Structures are given as structure tokens and as C-alpha cells.
């Protein structure tokens, strides 16, 4: 088995997965595909549009 590093990548678009906190739940997933998995869960979930937009703002906004 030759895995590329220990970072997990999105199996849809190949981007590095990021970690977020969504309503006190720790999720790991892909911002591009909007696919998220909770810790210890093999099940993928999608965020609603409002949460997703807030996330994008967090990633792009930040320091003003």
C-alpha cells in the first residue's frame, strides 16, 4: 500500500480534507464537495447552504 502522506483527501475531488466545528460537532470533510463526516462516523453528511456559506466566509474572510 502506498498512501500519499497521512493527510486524508477527498475521494471525490482529491483535495485535502479540512476540520470544522459545526454546531458543537467536530466534522472532517471537503469544502468543495460539501461532504462531511463526524468523528468516528463513516457516514457522510452535507451541510445546509447557510452553514456552508458561513464556512466559506470563515475561510476567506478572517482578518479585517
The contact set with Zn ion (CB under 5 A) reads: 10, 12-13, 30, 32-33
Least separation in angstroms between CB 47 and Zn ion: 13
Least separation in angstroms between CB 8 and Zn ion: 11
Question: What pairing do the DSSP bridges indicate for beta strands 44-45 and 25-30?
Answer: unpaired
Question: Among residues 11 and 57, whose Cβ is nearest to Zn ion?
Answer: 11
Least separation in angstroms between CB 11 and Zn ion: 8
* Distance (Å) of CA 50 to CA 22, 30, 47, 53, 55: 12, 16, 8, 5, 9
Amino acid at each position: 500500500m502506498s498512501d500519499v502522506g497521512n493527510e486524508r483527501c477527498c475521494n471525490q475531488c482529491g483535495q485535502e480534507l479540512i476540520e470544522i466545528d459545526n454546531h458543537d460537532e467536530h466534522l472532517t470533510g471537503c469544502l468543495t464537495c460539501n461532504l462531511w463526516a463526524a468523528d468516528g462516523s463513516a457516514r457522510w453528511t452535507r451541510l445546509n447552504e447557510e452553514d456552508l456559506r458561513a464556512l466559506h466566509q470563515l475561510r476567506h474572510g478572517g482578518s479585517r
